[in-house]
Amino acid sequence: MSTLKINVILFGIGNVGSTLVNQVIESQKFFLDKRNIELRFPIITNSTLAFFEKEGLTNEWEANFEQTAIPFKVEDIIEYVQEQQLENLIAIDATASLEIIKNYIPLVQNGFNIVAANKKANTLAYDFYKELRENLAIFDKTFLYETNVGAGLPVVQTVSDLYFSGEEITKIRGVFSGSLSYIFNRFSAEEISFSKVLAEAENKGYTEPDSREDLSGNDVARKLLVLAREIGFDFEFSDIQITSLLLPNLNEKHSKGDYAINKSFFDKPFEVAKIAQAKNHVLRYVGEFDVKSKKLEVKLVSVPESSALGQLKGADNLIEIYSKSYGEIPIVIQGAGAGKEVTARGVLNDVLKIAEKIKSKEFILN
């Protein structure tokens, strides 16, 4: 059987995108030997420049990008792949950009499958969510986004598989944020101020560059919305009740400078929350979707130390999926929920799933 060549157009070479390229370079021989698949990257872009690779990726790709990348629009990329008659196309969105998302439907209409680490396409207005899926069906293309929730953990796939097997999911609950997991795991277990743990999480690179993004609860809410829509609900982001961890005197309205120097404002209220708990309880910041009541919430809770959520360590995520068949005992998915290596590997896994799907279609046609 001849080798299947997959043409990957990568949008975004930040932490995840650049790690992904290096993972492919390292594993290319393995994919050829074990799966008979060759992953090619004819185009790699950052937010403004595109690098057109003629000879195949090498370990010097970053230097080559700097030397030869040129300004681009997505329309230029669509035109280029058509001129070059490139087939088996997969666009990877490793950005946090809304601009790329605006081009998802044109990409699908021009022969691209899509893999996204970017959560925004699945959390914009439901009308767009629906239109995208209608186009995927019309043009027989695939859109995968496992890393939208839990980085490399198989959360989206598990929820989707249960739903499409006819299982009745009754509740989804968990710690969806690696940064907030780290903060509350340490704050609950140690005699340490909240502001000090927050600063250490920032220094380790666990939080967004502005940690108010994490503390607002919006990121957890987006992940919860992805899963709620995955099981057939047409919720909007505004339907989620978010209890922010930010304070009235320290929130998004203040300057970044004010926020940076006044983090000690967090210490007293969180110390009070810690002391006010029942014995042998710990604080956790969770997202919860109660399917029966159709209630989506993001909030700080107190749970027993002995519970699955109470035993979390490090920056792990833990998601509990309750369903009719499994009763009171949930399916629990736990592991590293953040980090460029695990996220890039999750994106790569989605790419390989689409490659196998393309291979199966070619086998049927031949």
The answer to whether residues 85 and 126 belong to one domain is: yes
Which pLDDT does position 312 carry in this prediction?
A: 96
The answer to whether residues 266 and 278 belong to one domain is: yes
Which pLDDT does position 363 carry in this prediction?
A: 67
Residue 307: pLDDT band (50, 70, 90) is very high
Range of the domain at 286: 155-337
The answer to whether residues 79 and 93 belong to one domain is: yes
Query: Which spans in the chain are helix H?
Result: 15-35, 61-68, 74-83, 98-101, 104-109, 126-138, 155-164, 178-189, 194-203, 212-215, 218-230, 256-261, 267-275, 340-365
Which pLDDT does position 55 carry in this prediction?
A: 67
Q: pLDDT tens digits for 134-149? A: 999 999 999 999 999 9
Q: pLDDT tens digits for 159-182? A: 999 999 999 999 999 999 999 999
Q: Spot the catalytic one: 5, 29, 34, 223.
A: 223
The answer to whether residues 195 and 330 belong to one domain is: yes
The answer to whether residues 117 and 213 belong to one domain is: no
The answer to whether residues 82 and 198 belong to one domain is: no
Catalytic site residue 223?
yes
Residue 207: pLDDT band (50, 70, 90) is confident
Which pLDDT does position 13 carry in this prediction?
A: 95
Domain at 104, CATH number: 3.40.50.720
Domain at 231, CATH number: 3.30.360.10
The answer to whether residues 359 and 314 belong to one domain is: no
The answer to whether residues 133 and 162 belong to one domain is: no
Kindly state the average pLDDT of the residues 246-250: 92
The answer to whether residues 78 and 146 belong to one domain is: yes
Which pLDDT does position 59 carry in this prediction?
A: 76
Which of 271, 260, 261, 265 shows the shortest CA–CA distance to 246? 265
Q: pLDDT tens digits for 48-73? A: 999 998 766 777 888 889 899 999 99
Share of the chain above pLDDT 90, in %: 85
The answer to whether residues 289 and 179 belong to one domain is: yes
The answer to whether residues 63 and 210 belong to one domain is: no
Which pLDDT does position 1 carry in this prediction?
A: 63
Residues present in the chain in total:
366
Count of domains in the chain? 2
Share of the chain above pLDDT 70, in %: 98
Q: pLDDT tens digits for 34-45? A: 999 999 999 999
The answer to whether residues 37 and 136 belong to one domain is: yes
Residue 275: pLDDT band (50, 70, 90) is very high
